């Protein structure tokens, strides 16, 4: 079994415009989705991120505000999970409620760094 | 001047209201919060409830009492629980591995899951689960009741100390020990499964019955009857009878027993709070609605094969309740029931009560023989009812000196002021 990181992009502006009731129903879907993963023992962790941040780059460690991207490209959250294959990880990502709001899920396998 | 007076009034109102709400809602809140934080963190759950009530006093004094104070309290406690989890979710003392609780650690699912955990229809079950945890068989009976009163009935340490005439220090120690037990054992909050249910329910019922007895015939307090303890006992037992997993015949039988006894409360004391003996009670004061309710519980208790001691005791109470007066009571039937009770329960108290009936039916010598046949006499020597019964027996035999000795012994043994007074009256009448 391998570990995967699902990166969520976009989709948030849409939900924010909705009424509290719709927002609640939407979050209920996240709870259902993650609850199922947890029940199968596959959930490792997940958190949403705020939209502002800092970027540190290079040997000079220059700190700038950032990452200043279009809302659609900005990473808005992550979920780490276990899955047997990329296929399964994609199947998991397929049920992510962010897709209902035209969001993007990027599926990446955690790399085991060999010595 | 006027506005100051109003403010004073409203602040008194708020204090009375929060006292009332604490008694009725804190147990539910602690049960839900313990489900969230685990029994090993009972103290966190209690702290959150405490803080919620402190907030309510402050906010309500400023902004007035909200339309639905209970809902306000639940919402604030829920938000405090969310805050607490945000700040402490990585602390080692919390175990958020369990399926539902795991979702409390992600911001995606925290609030939705929290809403779900506070769903009203789940709260009764939470209280039940908490009750089973409090009455865990590895906890001693007195620690069980102490914890039930503290966590489920919203009693303060000083109120518990007063109810059992012990020091606050002792109560605190008992609570500390039980919390430590929970912390180390991580007792699961659950309603026991079929095979354990009867045994585990037995200790819950025992705890409820002790609570009721302390309320019905307070051995330790200035007042003979403590309505608050009686109400709590009945409320807790009702929880058991209303849940389809825990509504065993013995739970219904205990309900019946408590209702039969409660129906006679109004006739047991003079307006000044002095004891009126059964033979002199005004039976028109008995609460016939409660007797009818007790009869219904009796019917519901009449399924299954096992006859518990609560069934028999309820049947005895029933005989008293249907008798028109003391002399036409069916004492023969009551004696039969006591015979049965003594055989099945091996309780010394049942034996002594049986001897009381024998005294009434067969006279002093027969009652004396019954007491002589008690297996463990050392155990009852220090029991005031035993000494007071011996007093009655000698009184019947016209041996005034011995009667007086035993009444005096009984007086030394009971902590109840009203009982002492009754005994001293008896001594006085000896020498009229």
Report CA B322 to chain centroid distance, whole Å. Answer: 26
Q: Does B7 touch chain A (CB under 8 A)?
A: no
- Helix (H), strand (E), coil (C) string for chain B: CHHHHHHHHHHHHHHHHHHHHHHHHHHHHHHHHHHHHCHHHHHHHHHHHHHHHHHHHHHHHHHCCCCCHHHHHHHHHHHHHHHHHHHHCCCCCCCCCCHHHHHHHCCCCHHHHHHHHCCHHHHHHHHHHHHHHHCCCCCCHHHHHHHHHHHHCCCCHHHHHHHCCCCHHHHHHHHHHHHHHHHHHCCCCCCCCHHHHHHHHHHHHHHHHHHHHHHHCCCCCCCCCCHHHHHHHHHHHHHHHHCCCCCCHHHHHHHHHHHHHHHCHHHHECCCCCECCHHHCCHHHCCHHHHHHHHHHHHHHCCCCCCCHHHHHHHHHHHHHHCCCCCCCCHHHHHHHHHHHHHHHCCHHHHHHHHHHHHHHHCHHHHHHHHHCCCCHHHHHCCHHHHHHHHHHHHHCCCHHHHHHHHHHHHHHCCCHHHHHHHHHHHHHHCC
The pLDDT, as a whole number, for residue B430 is 86
CA distance, residue A38 to nearest chain B CA (Å): 6
**What integer is the mean pLDDT of A67-90?**
89
Quote the tokens at residue B379. Answer: 């155990």
pLDDT at B192: 87
B108 touches chain A (CB under 8 A): yes
Q: How far off is chain B from A76, nearest CA to CA, in Å?
A: 11
Question: What's the DSSP call for residue A18?
Answer: S
Among all residues of chain A, which has the CA nearest to that of B104? A31
Cα B352 to Cα B234, B348, B375, B432, distances in angstroms: 26, 6, 12, 28
Three-state secondary structure call for residue A101: helix
Tell me, yes or no, if B116 comes closer than 8 A to chain A by beta carbon: yes
Inter-chain touch B103–A48, beta carbons under 8 Å: no
The single residue listed with the structure tokens 């249910």 is B197
Which residues on chain A are in Cβ contact (under 8 Å) with B116? 31
Chain B residues near residue A50 by CB distance under 8 angstroms: none
Nearest to B109 among A24, A30, A39 (CB): A30
Q: Which of B108, B111, B113 sits opposite A46 (nearest CB)?
A: B108
Taking Cα atoms as reference points, which of B285, B138, B261 lies closest to residue B211?
A: B261
Q: What's the token pair of residue B152?
A: 């489920």
Cβ distance of A47 and B107 shorter than 8 Å: yes
B103 and A45 within 8 Å at the Cβ level: the answer is no
- Out of B106, B111, B116, the one facing A34 most closely (by C-beta) is B106
Across the interface, whether the CB atoms of A48 and B107 are under 8 A apart is answered: yes
A67: preceding bond cis by omega (within 30 degrees): yes
**How many residues in chain B?**
432
pLDDT at B1: 43
pLDDT of residue B7: 57
Dist. CA B404–CA B432, nearest whole Å: 13
Whether residue B221 contacts residue B416, with contact meaning beta carbons closer than 8 Å, is answered with yes
Q: What angle do CA B97, B102, B108 make, to 5 degrees?
A: 160
Q: How close is the nearest chain A Cα to the Cα of B74, in Å?
A: 19
Q: Do A24 and B112 make contact, defined as CB atoms within 8 angstroms?
A: yes
Contact B103 A38 (CB under 8 A): yes
How many A/B residue pairs have CB atoms within 8 Å? Answer: 40
Q: Does B102 touch chain A (CB under 8 A)?
A: yes
Beta bridge partners of A48: A77
Show residues of chain A in contact with B105, CB under 8 Å. 45
pLDDT at B219: 64
pLDDT at B9 (0 to 100) = 61
List, in order, residues 6 or more apart from B285 with CB less than 8 Å away.
B266, B267
d(CA A24, CA B113): 11
| Cross-chain residue pair B99–A38, CB shorter than 8 Å | yes
Residue B86 in contact with partner chain A when CB distance is under 8 A: no
Distance CA B350, CA B75 (A): 48
Give the span between the Cα atoms of B355 and B393, in whole angstroms: 10
Single out the residue of B150, B133, B173 nearest to residue B34, CA to CA. Answer: B133
State the smallest CA–CA distance between residue B105 and chain A in angstroms: 8
Minimal Cβ distance to A28: which of B100, B105, B112: B112
Nearest CA in chain A to B111: A27
- H helix or E strand, kind and range, residue A106: strand A104-109
Q: Residue B48's pLDDT is what? A: 97
Q: For the ranges A38-47, A62-71, A96-105, which has the lowest average pLDDT?
A: A62-71
Smallest CA–CA distance, residue A115 to chain B, in Å, is 31
Helix (H, G, I), strand (E, B) or coil at A50: coil
> Which of B102, B105, B108 faces A30 most closely, judged by CB atoms?
B108
**Residue B113 near chain A (CB below 8 Å):** yes
Closest B-chain CA to A50: B107
Q: How far is CA B334 from the centre of its chain?
A: 26
* Residue A41, phi-psi category: left (phi > 0), alpha (psi -120 to 50), beta (remainder): left
Q: Are B269 and B241 in contact (CB under 8 A)?
A: no
Q: B98: which chain A residues are within 8 Å (Cβ-Cβ)?
A: none
- B334 class by beta-carbon count within 10 Å (0-12 exposed, 13-18 middle, 19+ buried): buried
Query: Can you tell me whether residue A57 is helix, strand or coil?
Result: strand
Nearest CB to B99: which of A28, A39, A46?
A: A39
User: pLDDT value at position B145?
Assistant: 87
- Chain A neighbors of B102, CB-CB under 8 A: 38, 43
Contact (CB<8Å) A31/B116 = yes
Which contiguous run of DSSP H or E holds residue A38?
helix A20-39
| pLDDT, tens digit only, all 432 positions of chain B | 444 545 556 778 888 888 889 988 999 999 999 999 999 999 999 999 999 999 999 999 999 999 999 999 999 999 999 999 999 988 888 988 888 889 999 999 999 999 999 998 889 999 999 999 999 989 998 899 899 989 998 888 888 887 776 789 999 999 999 999 999 998 888 888 878 888 888 889 988 998 898 888 776 666 777 888 898 899 999 999 999 889 999 999 999 999 999 999 888 888 888 888 888 899 989 999 999 999 999 999 998 788 899 999 999 999 999 998 898 999 999 999 999 999 988 788 889 999 999 999 999 999 999 998 887 777 788 888 899 999 999 999 999 999 999 999 999 988 788 888 899 999 998 887
Could you tell me the pLDDT band of residue A18, with boundaries at 50, 70 and 90?
confident
Closest by CA position to B174, among listed B153, B132, B152, B146: B146
Tell me which chain A residues have a C-beta less than 8 angstroms from the C-beta of B100: 35
* A30 chain-B contacts, CB cut-off 8 A: 108-109, 112
pLDDT of residue B221: 61
Please answer yes or no on whether A34 and B108 come within 8 Å at the CB atom.
yes
- Among candidates B140, B138, B144, B81, which has minimal Cα distance to B115? B81
Task: Name the pTM for this structure.
Answer: 0.82
B108·A35 Cβ contact <8 A:
no
């Amino acid at each position: 079994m391998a570990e995967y990181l699902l990166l969520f992009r976009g989709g948030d502006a849409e939900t924010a415009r909705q009424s509290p009731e719709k927002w609640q129903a939407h979050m209920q879907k996240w709870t259902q989705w993650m609850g199922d993963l947890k029940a199968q023992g596959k959930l490792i962790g997940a958190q949403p991120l705020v939209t502002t941040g800092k970027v540190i780059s290079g040997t000079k460690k220059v700190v700038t505000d950032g990452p200043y991207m279009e809302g659609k490209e900005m990473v808005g959250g992550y979920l780490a999970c276990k899955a047997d294959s990329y296929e399964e990880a994609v199947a998991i990502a397929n049920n992510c409620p962010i897709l209902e709001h035209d969001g993007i899920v990027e599926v990446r396998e955690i790399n085991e760094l060999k010595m | 001047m006027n506005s100051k007076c109003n403010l004073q009034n409203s602040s008194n109102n708020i204090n009375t209201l929060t006292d009332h709400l604490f008694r009725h809602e804190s147990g539910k809140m602690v049960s839900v919060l313990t489900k969230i934080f685990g029994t090993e963190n009972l103290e966190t759950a209690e702290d959150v409830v405490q803080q919620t009530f402190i907030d309510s006093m402050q906010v309500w004094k400023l902004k007035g009492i909200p339309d639905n104070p209970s809902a306000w309290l639940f919402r604030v406690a829920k938000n405090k629980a969310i805050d607490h989890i945000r700040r402490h979710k990585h602390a080692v003392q919390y175990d958020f591995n369990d399926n539902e609780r795991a979702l409390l650690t992600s911001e995606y699912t925290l609030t939705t899951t929290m809403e779900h955990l506070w769903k009203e229809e789940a709260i009764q079950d939470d209280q039940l689960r908490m009750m089973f945890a409090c009455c865990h068989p590895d906890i001693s009976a007195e620690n069980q009741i102490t914890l039930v009163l503290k966590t489920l009935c919203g009693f303060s340490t000083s109120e518990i100390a007063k109810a059992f005439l012990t020091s606050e220090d002792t109560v605190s120690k008992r609570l500390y020990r039980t919390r430590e037990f929970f912390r180390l054992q991580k007792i699961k909050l659950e309603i026991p499964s079929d095979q354990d249910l009867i045994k585990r329910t037995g200790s819950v019922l025992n705890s409820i019955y002790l609570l009721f007895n302390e309320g019905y015939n307070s051995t330790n307090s200035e007042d003979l009857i403590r309505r608050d303890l009686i109400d709590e006992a009945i409320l807790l037992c009702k929880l058991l009878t209303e849940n389809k997993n825990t509504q065993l015949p013995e739970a219904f039988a205990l309900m019946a027993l408590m209702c039969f006894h409660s129906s006679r409360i109004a006739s047991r004391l003079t307006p000044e709070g002095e004891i009126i003996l059964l033979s002199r009670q005004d039976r028109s004061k008995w609460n016939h609605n409660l007797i009818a309710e007790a009869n219904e519980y009796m019917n519901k208790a009449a399924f299954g094969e096992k006859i518990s001691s609560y069934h028999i005791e309820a049947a005895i109470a029933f005989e008293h309740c249907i008798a028109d007066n003391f002399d036409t009571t069916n004492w023969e039937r009551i004696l039969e029931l006591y015979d049965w009770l003594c055989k099945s329960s091996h309780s010394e108290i049942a034996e002594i009560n049986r001897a009381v009936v024998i005294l009434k039916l067969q006279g002093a010598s027969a009652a004396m023989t019954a007491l002589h046949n008690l297996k463990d006499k050392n155990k009852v020597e220090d029991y005031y009812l035993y000494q007071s019964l011996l007093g009655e027996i000698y009184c019947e035999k016209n041996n005034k000196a011995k009667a007086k000795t035993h009444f005096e012994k009984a007086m030394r043994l009971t902590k109840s002021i009203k009982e002492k007074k009754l005994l001293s009256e008896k001594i006085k009448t000896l020498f009229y």
